[in-house]
Structure 1
């Protein structure tokens, strides 16, 4: 794999840290800026909305531009808005920086995915995707706890400065290591890419990605109260549990990178079945400490293995539209990341308790299998029908 891919993953690490670190900084931000904690929580929602809306829009803007300056530009904007966020004393300004940061993040990811697959062999999209997503999983393992620790020691603004500083070597690396034109079609045509997006297989894969990610974040969002209220472990164990989930996600992405190009159907079908079973078992075994610790790792691994494989399949299914496909894949995953916690909250509010969120995660994965079966029936009537025809975009 080209070394430039690992440098792009460094930028993704910075962006992933920024996206998730507010979960540990919200109370300090609320106190410092004189707003309520729910208002501070809107910073996370603003980022998610910016990612959902911005991914396809920024991808369209980036299609006709060379990828290296596009990557540099998005990363520069991302760093600058974190500087503004670190300096401001106005909550509305901070809220605005989160939206702009999300737009820049979405654009960067769309172009980075297209750049990554343009730098490798046509049958290595899964491995290239896994390297990029490794930056996100490492953010869960190291970046988010590190941001929370900085916030505790030096204040929440220090975490924003740290994200901006991490972007500096990533920007230098983009200029020095990413080819000016990364592979054929590095400058795309919006209409040509839009025509390539009409594949029913692509729409199916994007829907599956949203459902699987919704299942992941439905439980991950409430993992801390599950640990303290259901499992009965002390709050000091919560970072350990989150770290196990993050380590599992990194292991899952790494494994998918080695398997998803050669055995994508097996990863999706067998991995999806194991993921469904794991959420069901988790719902019943959450009261056991050992089971909770093990399942946090296992479900993190399975969730990200299946999720990263679906992203790779979206790129295979729309090989003629790498930038727009990357933007739509980013949007689909963030739709899931926004939907999952909301549905999980409904389950808790409806009296199902914290165990209910694992049950909802299981239902979302089961719904993904239903979508696959329906797509297979429709495909069969059109002359296809094999499961590979539905899932594998090659």
Structure 2
């Protein structure tokens, strides 16, 4: 049975907050792109409006596959999953800038970003509960909050470029930068692994 004082003491571990920072950065990295994907498909790729949901569904299918893959490897190699996911999101975000105008290339790239993005999630949860085994209630709730914060900051980040006249594809550069910023934190977490 969870004891509040023990849970609160566990929540003071710096390593736990490193994982929360990774969660916020990586979630924002793929969501900043996904939130504007339909607009980019219509404006840049030229996908017929009727086909946009199908391309968005490719992201969802990729996400399902990413969760499966991440779940298979996260128990034994969580930092491999974290690193592969973050680097994958960074590389694919940059690639999307180049392929978004190509109808034949954009949908596969969307699918691959879905995989890379969601390979991360099982490893993130696994690291949180490895570090905070004594705080399952608060640590679990804070993990969900970190994911939500990552999602919530994406409009602010996108607005920073879009309101200054940057092209819509600038959100991919933001996503790439956020994913890249998570990599040193992943290395830090691996170095001081609990």
TM over 0.5: yes
| Counterpart residue number, 1:316 | 130
**Residue 93 of structure 2 contacts residue 172 of structure 2 at CA under 8 Å; is this kept in 1?**
yes
Q: Does 1:197 align with 2:5?
A: no
Identify the match of residue 37 of structure 2 among 199, 223, 237. 223
Q: How many residues align?
A: 194
Structure 1 stretches lacking a partner, 5+ long: 1-186, 377-386
Q: Does 1:331 align with 2:145?
A: yes
Deviation at 1:372, TM superposition (A): 4.2
Q: Distance in 2 between matches of 1:303 and 1:311?
A: 14
Q: Does 1:369 align with 2:171?
A: no
**Residue 83 of structure 2 contacts residue 186 of structure 2 at CA under 8 Å; is this kept in 1?**
no
Q: Does 1:244 align with 2:58?
A: yes
After superposition, where does 1:137-286 map in structure 2 within 5 Å? 187-286=1-100
Alpha-carbon deviations, 1:226-274, whole Å to 9, x = none?
Answer: 1001111111111011100011111101111111001111111233222
| Counterpart residue number, 2:191 | 389
In the superposition, the TM-score normalised over structure 2's length comes to 0.94
Q: Distance in 2 between matches of 1:218 and 1:320?
A: 33
**Residue 6 of structure 2 contacts residue 135 of structure 2 at CA under 8 Å; is this kept in 1?**
yes
Structure 2 stretches lacking a partner, 5+ long: none
Deviation at 1:311, TM superposition (A): 2.0
**Residue 93 of structure 2 contacts residue 175 of structure 2 at CA under 8 Å; is this kept in 1?**
yes
| Counterpart residue number, 1:302 | 116
**Residue 253 of structure 1 contacts residue 305 of structure 1 at CA under 8 Å; is this kept in 2?**
yes
**Residue 81 of structure 2 contacts residue 123 of structure 2 at CA under 8 Å; is this kept in 1?**
yes
After superposition, where does 1:19-38 map in structure 2 within 5 Å? none
Q: RMSD of the TM alignment (CA)?
A: 1.5
**Residue 66 of structure 2 contacts residue 117 of structure 2 at CA under 8 Å; is this kept in 1?**
yes
**Post-superposition, which runs of at least 4 consecutive aligned residues in structure 1 deviate over 6 A?**
none
Q: Does 1:354 align with 2:156?
A: no
After superposition, where does 1:101-120 map in structure 2 within 5 Å? none
**Residue 213 of structure 1 contacts residue 307 of structure 1 at CA under 8 Å; is this kept in 2?**
no
- Quick check: which has more Rg, 1 or 2? 1
